[in-house]
Amino acid sequence: MGAALFAEYEELLHQETLWRCVPVTPAEREALLDDFCAAAVWQPVYFRWRPNLPDPLDDHVLELAIAGGVEHVATHNIRDFGRGELNFTSPKVLTPAQQLKAIR
């Protein structure tokens, strides 16, 4: 977890349109984020790779994954993460379903 990713999660937590059909209160959402962050490993990023992904707002996610030495990044945005100017052999980008299969 990094500061930029935390900020994205916190912003999504407060977008009421995303939560209309979900039976949880704002307080429960806050508690979930608190618990998630307590379990997360906070990773400083000392070097910015700037892989220049099609959506530059995604660059920090890949940089965080590289800094943390993770094996996989789980995202529904497979296409954009595979089209950066810099190519990395690790981490491998998977859909969430592929990630669940990989950890079994």
Q: How many domains does the chain have?
A: 2
Residues 62 and 29 grouped into a single domain: no
Contacts 24+ apart (CB under 8 A), 91-95: 91/62, 91/65, 91/66
Helical H runs in the chain? 3-13, 26-39, 59-68, 78-81, 96-103
What single-letter DSSP state applies at residue 41? P
Domain span at 1? 1-42
CA distance 80 to 75: 10
Residues 36 and 71 grouped into a single domain: no
This model's pTM is above 0.85: no
What pLDDT sits at residue 38?
94
Residues 101 and 65 grouped into a single domain: yes
Residues 53 and 30 grouped into a single domain: no
Q: Are 6 and 37 in contact (CB under 8 A)?
A: yes
Residues 5 and 35 grouped into a single domain: yes
Residues 102 and 52 grouped into a single domain: yes
Which parts of the chain have pLDDT scores under 70?
none
